[in-house]
Amino acid sequence: MNHFLAELKRRRVVRAALVYIGAAFVVLQAADLFVEAFQLPPVVFATIGIASIVGLPVTLVLAWAFDVGPPDADREAAGLAPMSSRWLSVKSLIAIVVLVLAGVMLGLTPKYFLGPLDGPANTTVRRYEILLPDHAPIEFLGSSPLSVPTLAMAITPDGNQLIYAGPADGDTTQLYVRDLSEFEAHPLPGSKGAYAPFISPDGQSVGFFANDQLRVVPIDGGDARIIAETPNPLGGAWWGPDRIIFNDRESNEHWWVSVTDGTPTRLPIDQSEAPAGGGVGIGQEYQPLPDGERFLVLTTPGRIAAYAPATGSLQTVMDIPVNVRVASDTLVYAIGNDLLAVDFDATLAAISGDEWTVGSDLRRDGGIAQFVLSDRTLIYATGAPYGQRHLALVDLDGRIEPLDIPAARFSGAAFSPDGNKLAITIRENQLNIWLYDLGTLQRRKLTGGGNNFQPHWSGDGDSIYFSSDRAGNGQNVAIYRTPADGGPGDAVRVFERGAVVVIDKLHAGDLATTSQRSGEIGNDIFQIDLRNGDIRPLASRPDYTEVLGNLSPDGRWLAATVDATGRYEIIIMPADGNDGRRVQITTEGGEEPLWAPDMSEIYYRYGSKLYAVPITFENDRPVPGQPRMIFDDDTWQNLLGFSYWRNPADGRFLIQRTDQPSNSQSLRVVEGWKNREPSPPRTND
pLDDT single digits (tens) 165-178? 999 987 789 999 99
| Superfamily holding 126-386+663-671 | TolB, C-terminal domain (2.120.10.30)
**CA distance linking residue 137 with residue 149, whole number of Å:** 16
* C-alpha 161, offset from chain centre: 18
Q: Name the CATH superfamily for 500-626.
A: TolB, C-terminal domain (2.120.10.30)
Q: What is the pLDDT of residue 669?
A: 96
Q: Which of 374, 279, 364, 247 is nearest to 637 (CA)?
A: 364
- State the Rg of the chain over Cα: 33
Domain 389-497+634-658 has CATH 3.30.70.20: no
Q: How far apart are CA 599 and CA 595, in angstroms?
A: 6
Q: What is the DSSP letter of 81?
A: P
Nearest to 223 by CA among 243, 205, 201: 205
Q: Using 50, 70 and 90 to split pLDDT, how confident is the model at 34?
A: low
To the nearest 10°, the Cα dihedral for 4, 6, 9, 13? -10
585: closest CA among 548, 554, 611, 620?
Answer: 611
DSSP string, 129-166: EEEPPTT-PEESSTTSGGG-----EEE-TTS-EEEEEE
Query: Residue 76: CB partners within 8 Å, gap ≥ 6?
Result: 82
The 10s digit of each residue's pLDDT in 540-575 is: 787 778 889 999 999 999 999 988 877 789 999 998
Give residue 130's identity as a one-letter amino acid code.
I
Q: How far is CA 197 from CA 21, 164, 230, 259, 324, in A?
A: 47, 7, 14, 15, 16
| pLDDT digit string, tens, across residues 605-627 | 998 899 999 999 998 889 999 99
Q: What residues contact residue 615 under an 8 Å CB cut-off, 6+ apart?
A: 572, 585, 599, 600, 601, 602, 622, 623, 624, 625
Of 431-440, 442-451, 578-587, the range with the lowest mean pLDDT is 578-587
pLDDT at 406: 94
pTM of the model: 0.76
pLDDT above 60 for 106: no
Among 176-190, 343-357, 384-398, 514-528, name the one with the lowest average pLDDT: 514-528
Q: How confident is the model at residue 140 (pLDDT cuts 50, 70, 90)?
A: confident
Enclosing H/E stretch for 32: helix 13-37
Q: What is the mean pLDDT of residues 273-296?
A: 82
What is the spatial order of strands in the sheet that 173-179 belongs to? 153-155, 161-167, 173-179, 186-187
Q: What is the rounded distance in angstroms from the CA atom of residue 633 to the CA atom of residue 613?
A: 19
d(CA 56, CA 109): 12
- Helix ranges (H only) for 540-581 are none
Nearest CA to 335 out of 306, 351, 359 is that of 359
User: Distances in Å between the alpha carbon of 356 and those of 127, 317, 365, 555, 673?
Assistant: 16, 18, 23, 55, 10
What's the pLDDT score for residue 509?
Answer: 81
What are the boundaries of each domain within the chain? Answer: 2-123, 126-386+663-671, 389-497+634-658, 500-626
End-to-end C-alpha distance for the chain, whole angstroms: 72
- Tell me which long-range contacts 447-452 makes (C-beta under 8 A, separation of at least 24): 447/482, 447/489, 450/474, 452/425, 452/480
What percentage of the chain has pLDDT greater than the value 90? 50
Q: Are 683 and 337 in contact (CB under 8 A)?
A: yes
Contact by Cβ (8 Å): 469, 493:
no
Q: Which one-letter DSSP state was computed for residue 571?
A: E
Task: Say if residues 232 and 223 touch (Cβ distance below 8 Å).
Answer: no
Task: Read off the pLDDT band of 119 (50, 70, 90).
Answer: very low
196 has a pLDDT exceeding 60: yes
Closest by CA to 593, choosing from 623, 571, 567, is 571
Q: What does pLDDT average to over the chain?
A: 83
User: Residue 190: CB partners within 8 Å, gap ≥ 6?
Assistant: 215, 217, 222, 223, 224
Contact between 206 and 199 under an 8 Å Cβ cutoff? The reply is yes
Distance CA 303, CA 571 (A): 34
Number of Cα atoms under 13 Å in the Cβ half of residue 550: 23
pLDDT digits (tens, 9 = 90+) for 251-270: 778 999 999 988 999 999 98
Segment (H or E) for 468 = strand 463-468
Question: Closest Cα to residue 672, out of 236, 127, 139, 141?
Answer: 127
Same CATH topology for 126-386+663-671 and 500-626: the answer is yes
| Host H or E run for residue 513 | strand 511-517
Q: What is the pLDDT of residues 40-84, one digit of tens each?
A: 556 566 667 777 776 777 666 666 666 545 555 555 555 555 554
For the cut 80, the answer to whether the pLDDT of residue 23 exceeds it is no
Distance CA(60)–CA(645), nearest Å, equals 79
Whether 677 shows a pLDDT value over 60: the answer reads yes
Q: With contact defined as beta carbons under 8 Å apart, do 664 and 132 qualify?
A: yes
**Residue 590: predicted pLDDT:** 92
Contacts of residue 649, Cβ cutoff 8 Å, sequence gap at least 6: 415, 418, 419, 420
pLDDT tens-digit readout, 574-601 = 988 766 688 999 988 899 999 999 999 9
